[in-house]
Amino acid sequence: MADPIVSQPLRAVEVPSMWSGMMAIMKRDLKIAFRQRSDMVNPLFFFVMVIALFPLGIGPEPSTLQKIGPGVIWIAALLSTLLSVDSLFRQDFDDGSLELALLSPQPLFVLAFGKVIAHWLVTAIPLILVAPILSVMLYMDRDTVWVTLYSLLLGTPVLSMISAIGAALTVGLRKGGVLVAVIALPLYIPVLIFGTSAVEAAAMTLPYAGQLAYLAAFLVLALTFAPFAIGAALRISVTSQ
Amino acid sequence: MATALLQTVKLFCERDDRVLIRDLDFALQPGEVVQIEGPNGSGKTTLLRILCGLSDDFSGNILWQGAARRRVDSEFRRDTLYFGHLTGVKFSLSARENLRWILQLKGIPPHAPGLDDRIDQALSNVGLYSYEDVPVYSLSAGQKRRVALARLFVEPADLWVLDEPFTAIDRKGVTQLEGLIQAHAGRGGSVLITTHHALDLPTIRKLQLGLGRGTWQIQ
C-alpha cells in the first residue's frame, strides 16, 4: 500500500481550455515525430525523388520542364501527403491513446485539429522548404518559385485536413490503405487545379492572386469544418470496433 | 438512498447475433467495488466499454449521478478513469512524459503546482523510480503496464473502470493495487473491475455475466 502522496488530490479544471488541449497534443506529437524521424523523412524523400526523376525521364529540355514544372511539384506534394497520412491516427488507434482521447473531457475535434496541425508541421513544412530548390531544377524563374511557395503554403494544410478525414474513417479497418486515397483524391482535385494554375499563371507573368485567393478560401473552409468531420469519423472508428 | 454514481436501466447488448447482456439493471454506489466476472467472451470488456462510453452498440439507459449520461458527458468523462487492455502509453516518450500528457488530456493544467512531484511520486509508487526519463520502449512488459497504472495515483476521478489491470503485474504489485482500490473506495470512489484474479478485498460485490442468453446475477 502506498503512502498518501499529498493530502489534497489533484483537481481537473471544471472546463478545460480547448487551446491547452490542442497545444498539449500538438507538442506530444511533435516530440514523438522528432524521436521517430522516419515518419518525417519518408514523405520528404518521396517528394524529392519524384521531382528529381522527371527531368531524367522526360529529358532536360528547359521549355518542357518549365511547362510541366508546376504540375509535377503539386502532384508530388499531393502524393507525399497521401503517403504520410496513413500513419496519422494508426499508432494512436493501436496503442489505445485514441480511446483515452475519446474519454477525455476535451472535445475530440480539438484534439484531432491539434494532431493534424502537428502532422502538417512535420510532413509538409520540410517539403515546402525544399520546393524552391526543386523548382529551380525545373527551370522556374524567381517569381514563379515564390508563387509555388505561397500556393503550397496555402494548399498543403487543406490536403492534410482532407486526407485526415479519410484516415480517421479508415483507421479501424484492418486494411485501409487504398481506401484513404479513394476517399481523399476526389476532394484533392480543386486544390490541385487552383494550385497548379496559380503557378502556371505566374510562369506566364499573368495575375495569379485570384487562384491564391481561392486556395486561401479552401484553407479557411477546411480549417473550419474538417476538424468536426475528423472528430466524428474518429468517434465512429473507435466506438464501432 | 443516495443517488447511485452510475446506473444502468434495461441495458441490452448483443454482438454477432449473440445476446451478451439482457436487461441489466445495475447501480454502482459511491464507495463500492464491483467485480465483473464471467468466462472469456462473456462480454466483460464490452460491458465496460459501453459503461464508459467507448461503445454505442447497446440499447437502454445509462445514468450518471442520476442524470442521463449523454447530457452530462463532459462531467462524466472528467470524473471517470478508464484503464483498458490498450493503455495509451506512447513507447517513444518517457514514463514521465506519458503521464504528464495523460493528465493534461484529463484537463489538468500543465503548470499545476506540484504536478511534477506528484508524477515522480506516482512513478516511484509503481516501482519505476529512476526509470522516469527512459523511453518506454526500453522497459519490460510489466513496467510498461505500470506506467499506465501510475495514473491511479495521480489522476483525479470518482469512478475507476479497470479492465484486467493485473495483466503482467507481479504478485507484489497486485497486492499494492488491491490496497489502492480499497483506499479509493474508502475515499468514496467507486471501482468497476474485471479480473480472473481472486480479489482480496473485504467488501466487494460481484456481477456475474455469461450465464447463458444474456442473463446475469449480482452477488
B102/A111 Cα distance (integer angstroms):
13
Q: Is residue A162 part of a domain?
A: yes
Query: Please, which pLDDT band fits residue A7 given cuts at 50, 70 and 90?
Result: very low
Query: Please, which pLDDT band fits residue A175 given cuts at 50, 70 and 90?
Result: confident
pLDDT, position A150 = 93
Query: Please, which pLDDT band fits residue A191 given cuts at 50, 70 and 90?
Result: very high
Mean pLDDT of chain B: 87
Give the contacts of A111 (CB within 8 A, at least 6 positions apart): A21, A22, A25, A101, A104, A231, B105
ipTM for the whole predicted complex goes beyond 0.90: no
Query: Please, which pLDDT band fits residue A72 given cuts at 50, 70 and 90?
Result: very high
Structural domains of chain A, count: 1
Q: Does A24 contact B112 at a Cβ distance shorter than 8 Å?
A: no
A115/B21 Cα distance (integer angstroms):
37
Q: Is residue A3 part of a domain?
A: no
Domains of chain B, by residue range, sit at: 91-156
In this structure, of A173-177, B18-22, B142-146, B167-171, the range with the lowest mean pLDDT score is A173-177
Q: Does A90 touch chain B (CB under 8 A)?
A: no
pLDDT per position as a tens digit, B194-208: 988 888 777 888 888
Is A86 a residue whose pLDDT tops 90? no
Give the contacts of B46 (CB within 8 A, at least 6 positions apart): B13, B15, B20, B21, B55, B57
**Which residues of chain A from 194 to 213 reach within 8 Å of chain B, CB to CB?**
none
Q: Is residue A4 part of a domain?
A: no
Q: Does A102 touch chain B (CB under 8 A)?
A: yes
Q: Which residue in B78, B92, B135 is closest to A12 by CB distance?
A: B78
Q: Does A32 contact B92 at a Cβ distance shorter than 8 Å?
A: yes
pLDDT, position A10 = 66
DSSP secondary structure letters along A173-241: SS--HHHHHHHHHHHHHHHHHHHHHHHHHHHTT---HHHHHHHHHHHHHHHHHHHHHHHHHHHHHHHT-
Cell 502532384, located at residue: A75
Q: Give the residue from A44, A53, A78, A234 showing the smallest Cα distance to A158.
A: A78
Q: Is residue A6 part of a domain?
A: no
Q: Is residue A41 part of a domain?
A: yes
Query: Please, which pLDDT band fits residue A12 given cuts at 50, 70 and 90?
Result: low
- Domain enclosing residue A189, as ranges: 18-239
pLDDT, position B16 = 82
pLDDT per position as a tens digit, B2-59: 688 888 888 888 888 888 888 888 888 888 899 988 888 888 888 899 988 888 888 8
Q: Does A6 touch chain B (CB under 8 A)?
A: yes
DSSP code, position A4: P
A182/A221 Cα distance (integer angstroms):
21
Q: Is residue A31 part of a domain?
A: yes
Q: Which residue in B84, B106, B154 is closest to A105 by CB distance?
A: B106
In this structure, of A127-131, A234-238, B89-93, B208-212, the range with the lowest mean pLDDT score is B208-212
Mutation choice for B interface testing from A1, A3, A31, A103 by most B CBs within 10 A? A103
pLDDT, position A193 = 94
